[in-house]
Amino acid sequence: MPRELALSILLDITEKGAFADLAVKNGLAASRLEKRDKSLATSLVYGTVQNLRFIDFQIASVSARPIESLTPAVREILRMAVHQLRFMDRIPGHAAVNEAVNMTKRHARSAASYVNGVLRNIQRRGFALPDTLQARLGVEYSVPDYLVQLWMKQFGAEECEKLLAASNAVPPLAVRINPLKSSAEEVAAVCKARKTNLENALYIEEPKNIAETAMFREGWLSIQDIGAQMASLALDPEPGERVLDMCAAPGGKTTHMAELMENSGEITAWDIYPHKVELILKNARRLGISIIKAGTHDARIPDEQLFGCFDKVMADVPCSGLGILRKKPDIKWQRTEEDLASLTAVQTEILENAAQCVRSGGAVLYCTCTINRAENEDVVEAFLKSHPDFSPDGEARMLLPHRDNTDGFFFARLRKR
């Protein structure tokens, strides 16, 4: 049953601390459900995680029991049911309630009447929201208060709400065409697609199971957001150059740069985990790329033998990931305000190392997939103040989901004099 699978996955996430994408992947792989039921289970999991604060607010407003006092199974059954009542129009309300009550009878029979009462009360009353602006935004779009405060400060209330809404929307599926093997025209002839503003990129109109198609397996394309593609284009690696990708796994930007270099030159790709290094090499093999040399290395640690050795350096640094909430909604519950502050030290270390590895006249691209000035503009500005031998090379870009139809993505190209 899809709801039982969804419950099992949600318990892995909430009780065992599993990442949502891995928990869903592993849960689906172990299941014998048909594709339609797997799709429902996936929607239930991601929808419940994405709308968690809104859901809990509704439960708390009609329940005599604190949510924390409920057993994990009852809590997640209730959450799934509220998600269905509010966000899944194709499921009738009575069906969502009946399924939740029946599930509760299987997992905690004594709580069945409680679950029924809570859901019926929510149906009768409708969905509530707080009165104040900041609290309303936090509940309506299910984000922590610190994130509302952060984005209101950076963008103002109106822009913040647009950004919050876009961060809960379903993103388009963008693919990057591999010119070493195919073209946009060939891919569009095989599947329904529409053009993007980039030459070798398409939006797939029917995105289901694109990674299982022959054209994917044969290396015609890669799944990659337009924002990430724009970062590699901004660095502009050329055929024959030596390039360093400091935080490369799983290899999306690494392989894109190799395609831009026409598989001529050399790319050194680093990651700190051996299994992620293998992901880079696996992607390169699928795409027919031979110029990538991948190995384990901590991008924060300088290696004097590499100082001044590279024409271009990609510093796609670890970040809070606030730009990819529409793909990984559990990030907003895993990150804390303290995490955001601690990341800038790591980001600065990596950028410092990048500055030493690039040759005179070469370029470094600093980039993140977050929407946080402290991790983006502030890091770059502080670096430029302490490195007079570097200067901005073009304007820095902050891509936003509601404005650019991309993930939230920041990049700044810096030139070494």
Does 37 score more than 90 pLDDT?
Answer: no
User: Is 193 a domain residue?
Assistant: no
* Average pLDDT over the chain, rounded to an integer: 95
pTM of the model: 0.92
User: Is 217 a domain residue?
Assistant: no
Residue 36: per-residue pLDDT: 86
Residues 236 and 243: beta-carbon distance below 8 Å: no
Residues 312 and 234: beta-carbon distance below 8 Å: no
The answer to whether residues 105 and 142 belong to one domain is: no
Report, as an integer, the average pLDDT of 220-243. 97
Residue 103 CB-half CA count within 13 A: 25
Closest to 241 in 3D by CA, of 221, 222, 267, 220: 267
DSSP assignment, residue 31? -
Helix, coil or strand: residue 223 = strand
CATH classification at residue 363:
3.40.50.150
CATH classification at residue 37:
1.10.940.10
The answer to whether residues 117 and 141 belong to one domain is: no
Q: Which whole-number Å values give the CA distances from 19 to 9, 82, 299, 383, in the listed order? A: 10, 22, 24, 33
Q: How confident is the model at residue 38 (pLDDT cuts 50, 70, 90)?
A: confident
Q: Which residue range is the domain that position 240 belongs to? A: 235-416
The answer to whether residues 340 and 261 belong to one domain is: yes
Residue 218: per-residue pLDDT: 96
The answer to whether residues 266 and 405 belong to one domain is: yes
Whose tokens are 């980001």? That residue is 347
Does 232 score more than 90 pLDDT?
Answer: yes
What's the token pair of residue 191?
Answer: 């599947």
The whole-angstrom separation of Cα 201 and Cα 224 is: 9
Residue 133: per-residue pLDDT: 95
State whether the Cα torsion 187-189-192-196 is positive or negative.
positive
Closest to 326 in 3D by CA, of 225, 177, 194: 225
Query: Which residues partner with 397 through β-bridges?
Result: 411
The answer to whether residues 393 and 322 belong to one domain is: yes
User: Is 282 a domain residue?
Assistant: yes
Report, as an integer, the average pLDDT of 323-331. 95
Q: Which whole-number Å values give the CA distances from 10 to 5, 21, 39, 42, 412, in the listed order? A: 9, 11, 15, 10, 38
Does 208 score more than 80 pLDDT?
Answer: no
Q: How many domains are contained in the chain?
A: 3
Which of 125, 155, 181 represents a domain boundary (last residue)?
A: 125
The string of pLDDT tens digits covering residues 298-315 is 999 999 999 999 999 999
User: Is 361 a domain residue?
Assistant: yes
What's the token pair of residue 228?
Answer: 């990430």
Share above pLDDT 90 across residues of the chain, in percent, rounded to a whole number: 88
State whether the Cα torsion 9-15-18-19 is positive or negative.
positive
Residue 186: per-residue pLDDT: 93
Does 158 score more than 90 pLDDT?
Answer: yes
The answer to whether residues 267 and 142 belong to one domain is: no
Report, as an integer, the average pLDDT of 322-344. 92
Residues 378 and 412: beta-carbon distance below 8 Å: no
The answer to whether residues 40 and 163 belong to one domain is: no
User: Is 94 a domain residue?
Assistant: yes
Does 214 score more than 90 pLDDT?
Answer: yes
The answer to whether residues 243 and 145 belong to one domain is: no
Active site members? 369
The answer to whether residues 260 and 354 belong to one domain is: yes
The answer to whether residues 55 and 89 belong to one domain is: yes
The answer to whether residues 270 and 393 belong to one domain is: yes
The whole-angstrom separation of Cα 162 and Cα 193 is: 27
Helix, coil or strand: residue 294 = strand
Helix (H) or strand (E) holding 60: helix 52-62
The string of pLDDT tens digits covering residues 339-388 is 888 999 999 999 999 999 999 999 999 999 999 999 999 999 999 999 99
Does 30 score more than 80 pLDDT?
Answer: yes
Residues 149 and 155: beta-carbon distance below 8 Å: no
Does 35 score more than 90 pLDDT?
Answer: no
Residue 312: per-residue pLDDT: 98
User: Is 208 a domain residue?
Assistant: no
Query: Which residues partner with 203 through β-bridges?
Result: 174, 194
Q: How confident is the model at residue 168 (pLDDT cuts 50, 70, 90)?
A: very high
User: Is 38 a domain residue?
Assistant: yes
The answer to whether residues 20 and 95 belong to one domain is: yes
Closest to 176 in 3D by CA, of 255, 106, 113: 255
User: Is 248 a domain residue?
Assistant: yes
